[in-house]
Amino acid sequence: MAVSRTRVNPEAPSTPGTLGRRYGGVDPEERQRQRKARLIEAALAVFGANGYHPSTVRDVCKEAQLTSRYFYESFDGMEALFKA
In a domain, 48, yes or no: yes
In a domain, 60, yes or no: yes
State how many domains the chain has.
1
Chain-centre distance of CA 9, in angstroms? 23
In a domain, 5, yes or no: no
pLDDT on residue 24: 78
pLDDT digits (tens, 9 = 90+) for 55-82: 999 999 999 999 999 999 999 999 999 9
Q: 19-23, 39-43, 75-79: lowest mean pLDDT where?
A: 19-23
The CA distance from 47 to 3, in Å, is 55
In a domain, 47, yes or no: yes
In a domain, 12, yes or no: no
CATH number, domain containing residue 50: 1.10.10.60
| 3-state SS class at 50 | helix
- Facing residues of 23 across strands? 26
